[in-house]
Structure 1
Amino acid sequence: MGKGRDPDPPCFRKYGLPFYSASWVPSKKIFAQKLKQKQESQKEGEEVATDDGSTLTSDTKANRSYLAFAGGGGEGRSGIPNAILLADFDFSSNSLSEQPVAKLGTQADLPYRMAVHPGGEGLICSLPKSCRWFKWDVLEDEGTCKLDLISSEKVLTQLEDIGQQLALTFNSEGSVLAVGGEDGYLRVFKWPSMEVILEKDDAYSSVKDLDFSSDGKLLVSLGNGGPCRVWDVTLSTVIASLPKESDEVFGFCRFSQTSDNKQILYTTAMRDRGGSIVSWNTSSWRRVRSKQIVRDPICAFDVSADGRLLAVGTVQGDVFIINSLNMKVQTVVRKAHLGLVTRLTFSEHSRALASTSMDSSVRVTVIGDQKRESGGSVWIIIFVVLFAILVYFLKTYGAIPHL
Structure 2
Amino acid sequence: MRTQHTPHFLTAFPVYCSVFLSPTHLVLGGGGGASKTGIKNKLRVYDVADNRAITLVDELQLEPGDDAPMSIAANLETGAFACGVNSPEEQMKKGENQNCRVFSFNEQKLGLLGTHGTLVSGDLEDYQKVTVLSPDGKFLIAAGTNSLQLLSFPSLAPAAPLIKTDKEIYDVTFSQNTFVVATTDNLLVYSLPQTKGTGSPSKTKKKGKQKENATAISELELLRTIDPPAAVSGASGSTFRAARYHPEKPGVLYTVGNTIPGRSRTRKAPPRQAYVCKWNTETWAVDKVRKVADKGLTCFDVSPNGKLLAFGTSEHVVGIIDAETLAPLVTILKAHEFPPTTIKFNPTSRLLVSASADNSIRVISVPDSAEKSSWGLLILILITLLIALLAFVAQQYAS
TM range (shorter): 0.7 to 0.9
Verify the 8 A CA contact 1:13 1:96 in the aligned structure 2: no
Q: Mean alpha-carbon deviation: is it higher for 124-133 or for 352-361? A: 124-133
User: Deviation at 1:373?
Assistant: 5.1
Q: Tell me the amino acid that sits aligned with residue 123 of structure 1.
A: F
1:310 and 1:324 in contact (8 A); partners too:
yes
Q: Does 1:169 align with 2:132?
A: yes
Instruction: Write out aligned runs for 1:77-96 (5 A).
Output: 77-91=36-50, 93-96=51-54
Alignment of 1:132 onto 2:120:
no
Residue equivalent to 2:293:
294
Aligned to 1:270: 258
Cα distance in 2 for partners of 1:378, 1:22 equals 36
Say which structure, 1 or 2, has more relative contact order (CA 8 Å, 6+ apart). 2
Partners of 1:323 and 1:204 lie apart in 2 by 34
**CA separation of 1:270/1:157 partners in 2, compared to 1, >3 Å: closer, same or farther?**
closer
TM-score (norm 2): 0.75
Task: Tell me by how many angstroms 1:113 deviates.
Answer: 1.2
1:167-192 Cα distance to aligned partner (Å, 9 max, x none): 1111112111111113x222112223
- 1:108 maps to 2:70: no
- Distance apart, 1:388 and its partner CA: 8.9
Match of 1:223 in 2: 183
Alpha-carbon shift at residue 80 of structure 1 (Å)? 0.9
Note closer, same or farther for the CA distance 1:82–1:284 as it changes in structure 2 (3 Å cut). same
Which residue of 1 is the match for residue 221 of structure 2?
Answer: 237
Query: Counterpart of 2:81?
Result: 123
Aligned to 2:164, what secondary structure does the other structure show?
Answer: coil
CA distance in 2 between partners of 1:378 and 1:14 (Å): 41
Alignment of 1:160-199 (within 5 A): 164-182=127-145, 184-199=146-161
Distance 1:315 1:211 in 2: 23
Partner AA of 2:22 in structure 1: P
1:24 aligns with 2:20: yes
Label 1:388 to 1:228 Cα distance change in 2 as closer, same or farther (>3 A): closer
In the alignment, structure 2 segments of 5+ residues that lack a partner are 87-96, 194-218, 262-270
| Structure 1 residue 345 displacement after superposition | 1.0
Q: Is the 8 A contact 2:22 2:346 kept in 1?
A: no
Q: Which amino acid aligns with 1:264?
A: V
- 1:14, CA displacement in angstroms? 2.5
Distance 1:257 1:136 in 2: 24
Taking the aligned partners of 1:233 and 1:262, their CA distance within structure 2 comes to 14
Instruction: Please name the residue that 2:109 is paired with.
Output: 148
| 3-state SS, counterpart of residue 197 of structure 1 | coil
Cα distance in 2, alignment partners of residues 9 and 70 from structure 1: 21
In 1, Cα distance between equivalents of 2:115 and 2:352: 32
AA partner of residue 13 (structure 2): L
Equivalents in 1 of 2:389, 2:313: separation in Å?
47
Structure 1 residues 376, 73: CA separation in 2 closer, same or farther (over 3 Å shift)? same
User: For the Cα contact (< 8 Å) 2:118–2:142, is it kept in 1?
Assistant: no
Aligned residue type for 2:254: Y
Does 1:284 find its partner at 2:283?
Answer: yes
Query: Relative to structure 2, which stretch is displaced further, 233-242 or 82-91?
Result: 233-242
> 1: distance between equivalents of 2:278 and 2:192?
21
2:198 counterpart residue number: none
Q: Matched residues in 1 for 2:167 and 2:147: separation?
A: 8
Whether the 8 Å contact between 1:82 and 1:108 is mirrored in structure 2 is no
Distance 1:297 1:155, change over 3 A: closer
Are residues 103 and 392 of structure 1, via their aligned partners in 2, closer, same or farther at CA, if it must alter by over 3 Å? Answer: same
Distance 2:25 2:378 in 1: 36
Equivalenced residues, count? 336
Tell me by how many angstroms 1:324 deviates: 1.9
The structure 2 residue matched to 1:252, chosen from 231, 235, 242, is 242
Provide TM-score, normalisation by structure 1: 0.74
Greater radius of gyration (CA): 1
For residue 101 of structure 1, report the CA deviation from its aligned partner. 2.1
**Conserved? CA contact 2:151–2:160, under 8 Å:** yes
Partner secondary structure for residue 69 of structure 2: coil
Matching residue of 1:343 = 342
**1:31 — aligned with what?**
none
Conserved? CA contact 2:7–2:360, under 8 Å: no
Residue 202 of structure 1 and its aligned partner are, at CA, apart by 1.9
Corresponding residue for residue 74 of structure 1: 33
Query: How far did 1:328 drift?
Result: 1.4
Deviation at 1:289, TM superposition (A): 3.1
Q: Using the alignment, how far apart are the partners of 2:6 and 2:290 within structure 1?
A: 33
Query: What does residue 32 of structure 1 align with?
Result: none
Q: Which amino acid aligns with 1:238?
A: L
Between the two proteins, what is the percent identity of the paired residues? 24
**Quick one: distance in 1 between partners of 2:109 and 2:121?**
27
Distance across 2 between alignment mates of 1:115 and 1:15:
24
Distance 1:326 1:155 in 2: 42
**Distance 1:389-1:210 versus aligned 2 partners, 3 A rule:** closer
For the 8 Å contact 2:171–2:242, the answer to whether it is kept is yes
SS in 1 for 2:245: strand
C-alpha contact 2:5 2:362 (8 A) present in aligned 1: no
CA-atom RMSD in angstroms? 3.0
Q: Which runs of 5+ in 1 are unaligned?
A: 1-7, 28-64, 139-146
Worse-matched range after superposition: 384-393 or 355-364: 384-393
Change (3 A) 1:104 1:243: same
Q: Deviations over 1:239-293 (max 9, x none)?
A: 12111245111111111157xx452111111113411112221011122232211
Please give the alpha-carbon distance, in whole angstroms, between the structure 1 residues aligned to 2:34 and 2:173.
29
* 1:103 Cα deviation after fit: 1.0
For 1:132, what is the secondary structure of its paired residue?
A: strand
Provide the C-alpha distance between the structure 2 equivalents of 1:388 and 1:298, rounded to a whole number of angstroms. 40
